[in-house]
A and B are shown apart, each in its own frame.
Chain A
């Protein structure tokens, strides 16, 4: 009985691991194709799927107590909220950049 349970867990977890490695290969491979903006979309989507697999299966969010999903979800939501609010600033503001100026090089005891 115990051996069946062990085999069951090993099979499922190794399947997840295999999926993670395949997704890693897809992520790395797709980076070498010229897909424009879709490169970013693809790599972040694949990362989100990998993270989802680790969270749901390895971290036992799936089938665990609802409080754990609530805590994880709230953390994620707060981060997204802060990103959205912060980026609302620099995405809509027209920034007039001063031309880059190198600081004047100061001679210090012969270094530089």
Chain B
């Protein structure tokens, strides 16, 4: 990298690098706040209707949920390796790691789609046909509204991440290291959101 490739806004390349990553972190902070209203709704619902939420949570597919969490954690490993080893490995290895990351993301979405289909068939989608034969039906409907809203928005973020990773695959090492690191940061953030969604949605009350 020659100094002529550094924007005139920055005194040197290291400074430009820090600015690039700082900008990404600020964006990630705003994304956290983007998810927060739904999380607050969940917080309220769980405090106000503990039994309804507990019963509703038992109707999520904990096997798929746990498997999906493992898939995303693994995708973070592979993505981190891709970014970290970028300058030490061949373009082919770099691309392979990125393709693996994207495939794991797609596997997550496929399993999520299967879950959605099952829940739709069971009448758990919170529309007019929602039914949950207990006294806590309305609380359960609130839970499933939050479940579908949060996982759908997370899924959309994941889809965008898959698009970004695919961009890295196609362009290979012609994309700057800073951009690759930033896309990695985005991917890990999507993973972190799921790390919290998993216990909140799947593990409310599994005992007894």
Pairwise interchain contact B203-A50, C-beta atoms closer than 8 A: no
Pairwise interchain contact A31-B33, C-beta atoms closer than 8 A: no
Contacts of B198 in A (CB 8 A): 27, 47
Number of A-B residue pairs at CB separation under 8 A: 135
Contact with A along B6-21 (1 / 0, CB 8 A): 0000000000001001
The verdict on B96 contacting chain A, using a C-beta distance below 8 Å, is no
Contact with A along B61-81 (1 / 0, CB 8 A): 010001001100110110111
Contacts of A21 in B (CB 8 A): 70, 73
Contacts of B76 in A (CB 8 A): 17, 20, 54, 58
Contacts of A14 in B (CB 8 A): 77
- Complex Cα gap A40–B135 (Å): 23
Contacts of B199 in A (CB 8 A): 27, 31, 43-44, 46-47
Pairwise interchain contact B208-A34, C-beta atoms closer than 8 A: yes
Pairwise interchain contact B206-A31, C-beta atoms closer than 8 A: yes
Within the complex, what minimum Cβ distance (angstroms) separates A2 from chain B?
5
Contacts of B114 in A (CB 8 A): none
Pairwise interchain contact B138-A33, C-beta atoms closer than 8 A: no
Pairwise interchain contact B25-A13, C-beta atoms closer than 8 A: no
Question: A58-B80, A72-B28 are contacts. A39–B43 as well, Cβ < 8 Å?
Answer: no
Nearest A residue to B66, CB-CB: A28
Pairwise interchain contact A75-B196, C-beta atoms closer than 8 A: no
- Complex Cα gap A95–B36 (Å): 23
The verdict on B103 contacting chain A, using a C-beta distance below 8 Å, is no
Other-chain residue from B21, B77, B202 in contact with A68 (beta carbon distance below 8 A): B21
Contact with A along B31-67 (1 / 0, CB 8 A): 0110010011001100110000000000000100010
Pairwise interchain contact A24-B48, C-beta atoms closer than 8 A: no
Mark B residues whose CB is within 8 Å of A. 18, 21-22, 25-26, 28-30, 32-33, 36, 39-40, 43-44, 47-48, 62, 66, 69-70, 73-74, 76-77, 79-81, 84-85, 88-89, 138, 181, 184-185, 188-189, 191-192, 195-196, 198-199, 202-203, 205-208
Q: 13 A–B contact pairs at CB < 8 A? A: A13-B80, A14-B77, A17-B76, A24-B66, A31-B207, A32-B206, A39-B205, A44-B199, A75-B25, A75-B33, A79-B33, A87-B40, A87-B47
Closest CB pairs A-B (n = 6): A75-B29, A43-B199, A71-B25, A31-B203, A17-B77, A58-B80
